[in-house]
Amino acid sequence: MRFLIVFILSCTLAFSQENNLINVYNRDQISLNGDWNYIVDPYENGFYNYRYQPFENSATPGKAAFFMNSKPENESDLVEYDFDSSDIISVPGDWNTQKEKLFYYEGTLWYKKSFNYQKSKDDNKVFVYFDAVNYQADVYLNGKKLGKHIGGFTPFNFEITNLLKQKENFLVVKVDNKRKKEGVPTLNTDWLNYGGITRDVRLVEVPENFVKDYVIQLNPDDNTQIKGFITLSGKDIAKKKVELSIPDLQLTKELITDENGTASIDIQVKNMIYWEPEHPYLHKILIKTTTDFIEDQIGFRTIKTKGHDILLNDKSIFLKGICLHEESPINKGRGHTKEDAKQLLNWAKELGCNYVRLAHYPHNEHMVRLADKMGIMVWEENPVYWTIEWENKDTYKNAENQLIEVIDRDKNRASVIIWSMANETPTSEARNLFLTNLAKKTKALDPTRLISAALEQHDYKDSKVIRTIDDPFAEVVDILSFNQYIGWYDGLPEKCNDISWKIVQDKPVLISEFGAGAKHGFHGDNLTRWSEEYQANLYTETLKMLDRVEQLRGFSPWILVDFRSPRRVLPEIQDGYNRKGLISEKGEKKEAFDVLRKYYEQKK
Ligand code: GCB
């Protein structure tokens, strides 16, 4: 279904052209959010016949197939389901927190939405665009299969122009969130496997010839040069005029597309205003063709490393960070609204952060759009977590596809500075190859950003107090990042006094995680597990220890807010939550919040 062309624009700037629309955020659209009917189908009865053959493989799927949205035609007719009299669920939203009986459900739910649609122009094209569905979506319109998508955190779309009617369309989505050994992520994670159509669903209408894709970024090696491309899609796209304007730079350029509908951008600019956390300036960008018009807001900055330094616009920076899961601080459950993102990023700002690590998968688009506006740098991660099937080619394809989709969505966001390939993966030849291939792909698609992965630390030779990073993938990354839990899983907080690191790679170091669990409101002394005092003391001791790491250029403690995890079962303390948050799931700050806030306040 997907095809990928890599345009080599210069030796330093190449990007993918993908099948998905980009910047739907700023496109005309009709939302399909709201009430949908749903059917719980643990046996996938609406998908397979009693011989376990998929109905969709047959030219005449018959009435039993749920995607046909069948109704009895007369009083004798047998149809054993009915969407319209089935229960209702809100889209977007996970099913776990909307329906008590589905809290731990992992399996198939069928969703149905009926709608009328009037195109604004006859020859326009219409797409249905899903911001994310966890984990597998099989999508049907008016009884016809549009396609399927695997991966719970990235967008996908299907063109529906030819199937769309003015009245009584029905869109049916089979959503399956069963965890799979070969999946990405795999069976084991430390977060709740929220199922459902978890992000927005939109109908996007575009002209027959439209702006399909673009990259407008600074050349990493020359920050006075804007480079990239604009690609059109449609029947008549060769040798076409495309106007690119950036009004606040008083810049209007007329570009001409090549045979494939792509126009290269190479513009020299004087007096550029750069994007940086203290001044997150976004330029209004206007792209006009004879048929289409699209607007975006893009920040210009460069991000590089040199020796031990991370350079933002050629100045060395320290990343004052925090990790985030995509859980709503407002409605609980999987977060998806602008308000959810705003609350999380406001807390990060209050903590003094200029950086967040979006763990452990791509978050919704509001998050990166807001980070752009608020001046917060972002680490964005592929859900390659713990023990993936490294030798499985389909698993690799799946991981790569999810990465391509997030790069495609966020390649014009200034806030995104790091693509993370994975989290805490055990080294082996197969794993090293898997991650190296992902890294190569990422660099080929996006040479303007940095690559990292949350690695693990190891004992240095036989020493119990000197740690090192002994991992072949450390050679591949731009930034050497690792998680460490000294004082929590590894001894008590005072152990921090004894530990030092011998880092042999000539790269900047980020500590991608450290932390301790504490139940808000539970008090004890510094050595009482789960007390706020223990957590605060662990932060104090860890921060002293990290100050001794010469190469350290930032960190992102684990984690801003307590989050749901079925692995965390201790009654009265965890009750289904990982308690390493600096803030409880109810929004109450723990003592450690202030320890970190004060540290960031005095940190230059
Ligand atoms: C980790 C994982 C993170 C867990 C955390 C913990 O190293 O990367 O996903 O939630 O530890 O709390 O144990």
ipTM of the complex: 0.99
Judged against a pLDDT cut of 50, whether residue 6 lies above it is answered with no
Rounded to two decimals, the pTM is 0.96
Judged against a pLDDT cut of 80, whether residue 1 lies above it is answered with no
Q: Residue 14 has what pLDDT? A: 46
Assign 291 to helix, strand or coil. coil
Say if strands 466-468 and 480-483 run parallel, antiparallel, or are unpaired. unpaired
Place of tokens 């990023």: 345
The domain locations on the chain are: 8-16+208-300, 29-119+125-205, 305-602
Place of tokens 């104090």: 540
Region for residue 352 given its phi and psi (left: phi exceeds 0; alpha: psi -120 to 50; beta: otherwise): left
Nearest residue (CA) to ligand 1, atom 4: 190
pLDDT (tens digit per residue) in 284-293: 999 999 999 9
Ligand 1 centroid, distance to 559 Cα (angstroms):
9
Judged against a pLDDT cut of 80, whether residue 582 lies above it is answered with yes
Q: Residue 417 has what pLDDT? A: 98
Q: Residue 5 has what pLDDT? A: 35
Type of residue at 99: K
Ligand 1 centroid, distance to 59 Cα (angstroms):
48
CB atoms within 10 A of CB 99: 16
The residue-averaged pLDDT of 352-365 equals: 98
The residue-averaged pLDDT of 132-138 equals: 98
Ligand 1 centroid, distance to 190 Cα (angstroms):
6
Ligand 1 atom nearest residue 360's Cα: 9
Q: What is the mean pLDDT of the chain?
A: 95
DSSP string, 255-317: EE--TTSEEEEEEE-SSPPPEETTEE--EEEEEE-SS-EEEEEE----EEEETTEEEETTEEE
pLDDT (tens digit per residue) in 395-447: 999 999 999 999 999 999 999 999 999 999 999 999 999 999 999 999 999 99
CATH superfamily ID and name for 8-16+208-300: Immunoglobulins (2.60.40.10)
Tell me yes or no: is domain 29-119+125-205 CATH 3.40.640.10: no
Q: Residue 604 has what pLDDT? A: 75
Ligand 1 atom nearest residue 489's Cα: 13
Express as a percent the part of the chain with pLDDT over 70. Answer: 97
Ligand 1 centroid, distance to 404 Cα (angstroms):
25
Ligand 1 pocket list (CB less than 6 A)? 190, 360, 423-424, 483, 513, 558, 578, 580
Please give the CATH number for the structural domain made up of 305-602: 3.20.20.80
pLDDT (tens digit per residue) in 467-501: 999 999 999 999 999 999 999 999 999 999 999 99
Counting DSSP H helices and E strands in the chain, the numbers are 6, 37
Lowest mean pLDDT across 15-19, 20-24, 322-326: 15-19
Query: Best of 455, 578, 579, 582 to mutate for ligand 1, by most ligand atoms within 8 A of CB?
Result: 578
pLDDT band at 332 (very low <50, low <70, confident <90, very high): confident
Judged against a pLDDT cut of 50, whether residue 15 lies above it is answered with no
